[in-house]
Amino acid sequence: MAAAGALGRFGDKRAVSALILALRDSEREVRVRALESLGALRAEDATLAIVEALSDQQEVRTAAVVALSHVGGARALDALMDQLGRTSDQRTVVQALGRLGDRAAPKLKQCLAGQVSRTLANGCAAALVEAKAPNSDQVLIDALRRGVVDPRVGMHGLAELKSPLGLPIVLTYLSDDEPVVRRAAVEAASSLLDPGKPDGRAVGPIREALETARDRKNERRALVALLGRTGSPRAESVLTPLARESDDLGLRVAAIESLGMLGKVNADQVLIDALGDEHGSVRLAAAVALSRVATGKSTAKLLDHFEKGAEQDRSALALALGGALEHTKDPELLKRAFAALARTRGAERDALLEALARNAEPSTAARLSKMTTGAAGVDRAKLAEVLGRHTAARSVLLKLSRDPDAAVRANAVWSLGGVAEAGDAPTLWKVLGDSDPAVSANAVAAYARLAARTKSDAKPQLCDALKSPRAYVRANALGGLRLLDARCTGAPERALLLDDASDVVRAKAASLLQDVKTSAEDRRALATCEANDPSSQVAVACESSPEPIPTTFEPVTVFVVPLGETKPAARAPFTLIRADGLMRMGLSDRRGAVYEFAAPRGYVALGVPVALAK
């Protein structure tokens, strides 16, 4: 088995004949490893031998399917298409055809253009989505209209492709007779709608579906949430009565949340009234909604609520207040808000600091910056986090990057990634040598973000950071290279993919190799990783193309609940994985929260804290 694996790593086609012979070995594991190596070698002359292995045991068949996808060629494609209609493990074949990309697209489109079995059509549709070939969405739409594919498969595919053409046909299924189809339509429409890009076309069909779903409580809640995803002010007239009067608690919460996604609407009073509701879920939903849509005119009322609110609600009320403060220029109201801050302690103080930092007035930045002098370590750490919104705080953040408290330095260095100037790059890079691993890892990410903003060349430094003994420094260096669309001379990223001890580093290396200047050697290394890496997370990263790096940003608050705990923990170590692949490290605030005022729009996750990373 080891010999069969080694032959695949040589990259020498002279190994093919020996590997073909190994397909007759009595040991299943040897046959599997031989197939993996033939795939890594892209041995097209071994296609027939690989096809024969499709009649072997399940594990061997799976390896043969994967190998055919790496080998490519007309015979391999025909064999995979044949398997698509026969196999019980259709998902593996779908992924294999998707890996062939544009080479498989013509046959998959031809499949959907004809009259084939529903099972085969569903497989062809799923594989076409995996392949992401041009005009795939139009092919799926045509197949849906002709009834060739299962509506759930077709709509899921349009959602995966983020097709702007797919929304109208998805909306027609919101009132389908089948509950599972209606549910699939809601899920697909939710993926296709973006509140940041208002789309009033969807409001009418959703409203009609809502009217016909009178006795279906959960479905009505999902449709109300979908109205928020439209981002259209046209949805306000439907949502406002539900937010004010509905006796269905879940529906009322959904309506309030959706009002907070509509942008500039006249919903302040409805949401402020909801802040006094007896149900905590309603109060919290209203606070979050106000944080998004509150106008400056509501600042005084929200300050009243904050000053008089119950202790358990004050952090949520501070969240609502931040939405209004963002649009406030009245110096008296700002003075009142800072006076309220002077009376706060603990978790609510951190929440109010976030709210005040949303105000863009120069006087606000100056007052927050001045507060760093003589403040307690927990206050300095929070100020270092929230001052990342203010370019005027650059000099203060540079000073805080040398603070004796590591948590302060970690936040300050991260914030500098958003406000530092090109001339600060050498200073920022020196922080890589910080004694605290969270600070040094943040410094690498901040350096890459600075380079991306200022269009600077950071490749030499990031490539040098790949030699760091700290795993998260190497991981953020790889993420930074991907952010800058850069590769290193000599491909050390490929060596890290195959040999690094850290799962996180290998996964980041896989994303870089998949996404930037991919060579034949890179593809061979990715195939080896997919077949042999002991971590399923890394193997998936080697198999699948990463999600594109987002180009839009939004504020995010993440609460850190340590393993085995049930509540957010103050001053808990965290690693926040952002949608652009960069990782931020440090300690949570007094609420147990981490605040990113401009996180790349997309999925976020908590990873293993740096102190526990291998």
| pLDDT-based confidence at residue 195 (cuts at 50, 70, 90) | confident
Q: Domain 193-293: what homologous superfamily?
A: Leucine-rich Repeat Variant (1.25.10.10)
Instruction: Output b/e per residue, 569-586; b: 16+ Cβ within 10 A.
Output: bbebbbbbbbbbbbbbbb
**What's the chain's average pLDDT?**
92
Among left, alpha and beta (phi > 0; psi -120 to 50; other), residue 456 is beta
pLDDT at position 563? 86
Please write the tens of the pLDDT for every residue from 553-570.
988 999 999 988 899 999
Please write the tens of the pLDDT for every residue from 370-402.
999 999 999 999 999 999 999 999 999 999 999
The secondary structure of 516-551, three-state, reads CCCCHHHHHHHHHHHHHCCCHHHHHHHHCCCCCCCC
Q: What is the DSSP string of 434-448?
A: -SSHHHHHHHHHHHH
Place of tokens 């929200």: 302
pLDDT at position 440? 96
| Domain parsing of the chain, residue ranges | 2-172, 193-293, 553-612
Tokens of 207: 């409203």
| pLDDT-based confidence at residue 87 (cuts at 50, 70, 90) | low
pLDDT at position 523? 87
Q: What is the architecture, at CATH level 2, of domain 2-172? A: Alpha Horseshoe (1.25)
pLDDT at position 101? 87
| pLDDT-based confidence at residue 358 (cuts at 50, 70, 90) | very high
- Whether the domain at 2-172 and the domain at 193-293 fall into the same CATH topology: yes
3-class DSSP state of 556 = strand
- Reply yes or no on whether the pLDDT at 312 is more than 70: no
Residue 605's DSSP bridge partners are: 577
Residue among 148, 147, 159 at smallest CA distance from 183: 159
Q: How far apart are CA 610 and CA 406, in angstroms?
A: 13
Please write the tens of the pLDDT for every residue from 229-253.
999 999 999 999 999 988 899 999 9
Please write the tens of the pLDDT for every residue from 93-127.
998 898 888 899 999 999 999 888 888 999 999 99
- Type of residue at 542: C
> If you average pLDDT over residues 134-139, what whole number do you get?
92
Q: How far apart are CA 535 and CA 530, in angstroms?
A: 9
- Reply yes or no on whether the pLDDT at 410 is more than 80: yes
Of 111-120, 184-193, 383-392, 592-601, the poorest mean pLDDT is in 111-120
Residue among 460, 453, 508, 512 at smallest CA distance from 482: 512
Q: How far apart are CA 320 and CA 285, in angstroms?
A: 10
